[in-house]
Every structure is written in C-alpha cells, then in structure tokens.
A and B are shown apart, each in its own frame.
Chain A
Amino acid sequence: EVQLVQSGPEVKKPGESLNISCQGSGSIFTNYWVGWVRQMPGKGLEWMGMIYPDDSDTRYSPSFRGRVTISADRSIDTLYLQWSSLQASDTAIYFCARHADYLNWYFDLWGRGTLVTVSS
C-alpha cells in the first residue's frame, strides 16, 4: 500500500532541537515534490515548504523560511522537518504530504500527522 508514515508524537522544552520524519513506502517520492503542512491547535492548515528528494531542491513559505529546515534522504525515502530551537508557538500537528504534479500542485497523499508539543 502506498503511504506516508510519520514519526511519533514529541514533547519538548523551549530552546530544544527536534527532527521529525516522514517515510514513504516504495518509491513514492521519485519525481515528486513533498511538503510539510502545519496545523496549530484549533486552527487551519498552513503550507510550510517542500522538497524535491531527487535533488534536494527546497522551497519555503515566507512565514517559515529560516525557522525550520526541510531535508530528505532519498536512499531511504525519508523526509525530515527540523528545528534548532523550538518555541511554544511551534506546538502543532505537522503533516507531510506529496504534491501530485508540478502544474497543479495539489496534495494527493498525506501522512497521519505528528503532534509536537513544546512546553516548559
């Protein structure tokens, strides 16, 4: 079954670093852009950025550029979202999702989400 499997929930303190992952089954990243979407508690969806795992070309939303790092390891079909210093406002569910094509850009495949809680 084609799916995106995300890492488990995380509880961190402000200032700590964090790396969450999203692994694709099979070669579902080949020739696709894959992105991250944030959903803060009780709020809507926010597109954070995307990466083309085949060459690691990366694009960010202006709202998230410099605050997170998106990377990928093509050899194990895994996508990463990294923070160097978490803030309480980073508390949210983070979804990885695959952009279906680079003309229409809709997401055709989603992970189940990773809950990140940042609290002192």
Chain B
Amino acid sequence: SQKIEQNSEALNIQEGKTATLTCNYTNYSPAYLQWYRQDPGRGPVFLLLIRENEKEKRKERLKVTFDTTLKQSLFHITASQPADSATYLCALEMEYGNKLVFGAGTILRVKS
C-alpha cells in the first residue's frame, strides 16, 4: 500500500541546534517533493520544493535532501529559533501542478 511516514513523535530541541525531520514514502514515484509549515488553526505555507533529479536544496536556514533510492527526504532547520515551532508537512507531487499527497506532519518545538 502507499504510505508517507513522518516522525510520529514531536521533536523537541534547544534553540540554536539543528532540527532534522524525516519523510519516508512507500509505493510512490514522486516527481517533486515539497515541505510546508503549518501553524495551529492556519493553512499550510510552502517552504521548499525539490525535484527527483536534485539531491539537495537550500533556502536561508533550511535544507532539504531527496534520496529516491531510499525513498526518503530529510528537512533541516539550522540555528533553530522558538519561532520555528510549528508542524512541518512533507508532500509528494507525482507531476508538477497536480495534487499533493501529504504526510501527517511532525510537530517541532524549539525551546529557548
């Protein structure tokens, strides 16, 4: 069956450390993988997109890796801040502009 799995437990880290979130998928062949941030009671906000032929993408303090052999993406936030506390969603896109298939998300809590 098709599955997208993200860290099931909340991730608690200290301010200034690097947060690493995992997204594993089974029986999908995504052309693109996206990461979104969602705050309580609000819609998801797009952060980064990585293509199947890209290994790594960076944007400011964010870094995403994509390994299509392992069927895994890692999402890193360096120098984390309490304002980074939110739920982070991984989403697969089979072709560009098509619907997104989301994981359940990982709650990140950054403590000062």
Q: A and B: real partners?
A: no
**A binding-site residues for B, Cβ under 8 Å:** none
